[in-house]
Amino acid sequence: PELSTLVSLVKEAGLAGALSNPEATLTVFAPTNAAFAAVPKDILDYLLTNTTALIQVLAYHVLPEEILSKELPQTPIPELTLEGQNVKLVANTTGAFVNEAKVVKADNLAKNGVAHFIDAVLVPKGLL
């Protein structure tokens, strides 16, 4: 239930098969329902009516490798997302972060990688 908005958007975008592919090894930064609730309605409406933009936003939350929280660096480093742009990863005394989003629940293991729940929706530069 904590990720029901994300799950429905992944299905809407036709990405469920790709994200559950057992041949893949992924890290997913999964915005919680509260994170999606904080997105302005006009932006959410835009994403719901523009599948290309929705896919870009969702792919920006996925790395093509598994990175556990203990592997996050103490100095920010860029990591390439499936969308094609970098996100900045860092872990410090205040927590673990991807860009400005805080990891609120780390290391949720899956058959093909790991998911870290985050408190904000990541948007690629230049999309909105």
The pTM assigned to this predicted structure is 0.96
Give the pLDDT confidence of 55-68 residue by residue, as tens digits: 999 999 999 999 99
Q: Which helix (H) or strand (E) holds 117?
A: strand 113-118
Residues 6+ apart with CB under 8 A from 22: 111, 112
Helix axes 4-12, 51-59, angle to 10 degrees: 130
In terms of phi and psi (left: phi > 0; alpha: psi -120 to 50; beta: otherwise), the region of 20 is alpha
Give the pLDDT confidence of 18-43 residue by residue, as tens digits: 999 999 999 999 999 999 999 999 99
Give the pLDDT confidence of 72-124 residue by residue, as tens digits: 999 999 999 999 999 999 999 999 999 999 999 999 999 999 999 999 999 99
Give the pLDDT confidence of 11-23 residue by residue, as tens digits: 999 999 999 999 9
pLDDT higher than 90, residue 1: no
pLDDT, residue 92, reads 93
Q: Which helix (H) or strand (E) holds 16?
A: helix 16-19
pLDDT, residue 98, reads 98
The total of other beta-carbon atoms located within 10 Å of residue 69's CB is 14
> Is residue 49 very low, low, confident or very high in pLDDT (cuts 50, 70, 90)?
very high
